[in-house]
Chain A
């Protein structure tokens, strides 16, 4: 049973560029959340997608946007990259059904130079 898969695993971008990160949820899960984890910090909630719509959003600027596809996979897009966007980006999926809980992917490590 495949867990949450994310791609790419590592990425280096230049300040001002745009980036797209991808996530495939665990089989049976229909809800995808994205988190940003800066070095030495806990993950911070970016947004959650359910039924192809953004259901909730954290305190992140509009440069961060997302999309969910009919197969429940999701993309995170970040425009006009800043050095401070360097972080581990984690995707988490859940089914909303018992047993409740979120499964995290191994993340995409983004470095902005």
Chain B
């Protein structure tokens, strides 16, 4: 089983729609959780950290369910500029590495 699993997509969504991504992780001791965004042939950039209480940043909402080892990202009112690959990332306590999922590719259609 992969440490971090994501649906690779692609997701093709009309502009203005709401889209949700899901991610599961295998290590119950994982400590920190993130969503990164990666544009084509560019480096990953931190989109947001994910907290147990859930957190929101503008049109983006992230949720963490530790019991189910499940992370989600919701994008509301999607824009053309949201087209990118979204990477689910986990960091285990006492572990220096970030573990990435394979990423979910999103294309917003005008």
Residues of chain B from 7 to 53 with CB closer than 8 A to chain A in the complex: 8, 32, 41-46, 49
Query: In the complex, what residues of B have CB within 8 A of residue A104's CB?
Result: 43-45
The answer to whether the Cβ of A41 comes within 8 Å of any Cβ in the partner chain is: yes
Query: In the complex, what residues of B have CB within 8 A of residue A45's CB?
Result: 97-99
Q: When the two chains form their complex, are residues B101 and A107 in contact, meaning their CB atoms are under 8 A apart?
A: no
Residues of chain B from 59 to 81 with CB closer than 8 A to chain A in the complex: none
The interface size bin for chain B is 20 to 34
Residues of chain A from 38 to 75 with CB closer than 8 A to chain B in the complex: 40-45, 48, 55-56, 58
Q: Please, which residue of chain B has its CB at the minimum distance from the CB of A94?
A: B96
Query: In the complex, what residues of A have CB within 8 A of residue B49's CB?
Result: 101
Q: When the two chains form their complex, are residues B43 and A48 in contact, meaning their CB atoms are under 8 A apart?
A: no
Q: Please, which residue of chain B has its CB at the minimum distance from the CB of A99?
A: B49
Given A48-B97, A56-B95; A42-B43 close (CB under 8 Å): no
Can you list 22 A-B contacts (CB < 8 A)?
Answer: A31-B96, A33-B97, A35-B98, A35-B100, A40-B102, A41-B102, A42-B4, A42-B100, A42-B101, A42-B102, A43-B98, A45-B98, A48-B96, A55-B96, A88-B41, A92-B98, A100-B32, A101-B46, A102-B46, A104-B45, A106-B42, A109-B41
Question: Which residues does A use to contact B, with CB under 8 Å?
Answer: 31, 33, 35, 40-45, 48, 55-56, 58, 88, 90, 92, 100-102, 104-107, 109
